[in-house]
Amino acid sequence: MAESPVLAWIAAGAAPPGEGALVRVDVGGRGILVCRASDRLYAIEDRCPHAGATLGDGRLTGFVLECPLHGGRLDVRDGSPVEAPIRRAAERFAVREGLRGELEVLLPQSA
Residue 35 lies in a domain: yes
Q: Is residue 97 part of a domain?
A: yes
Handedness of CA 39, 41, 46, 50 (dihedral sign): negative
Residue 71 domain flag: yes
pTM score of the predicted model: 0.91
Domain that residue 51 falls in: 6-105
Does residue 111 sit within a domain? no
Residue 22: inside a domain: yes
Asked, for residue 10, whether it belongs to a domain, the answer is: yes
110 lies in a domain? Answer: no
| Helix, strand or coil, per DSSP, at residue 30 | strand
CATH code, domain with 78: 2.102.10.10
Question: How long is the chain?
Answer: 111
CB burial of 73-86 (b: ≥16 within 10 Å; e: otherwise) equals bbbbeebebeeeeb
Strands of the sheet containing 92-93, edge to edge, are: 22-27, 30-37, 40-45, 92-93
**Which amino acid, one-letter code, is at 44?**
I
Domains contained in the chain, number: 1
User: pLDDT tens for residues 3-55?
Assistant: 778 999 999 999 999 999 999 999 989 999 999 999 999 999 999 999 889 99
d(CA 29, CA 26): 6
Asked whether residue 1 is assigned to any structural domain, the reply reads no
Residue-wise pLDDT tens digits, 84-96: 999 999 999 999 9
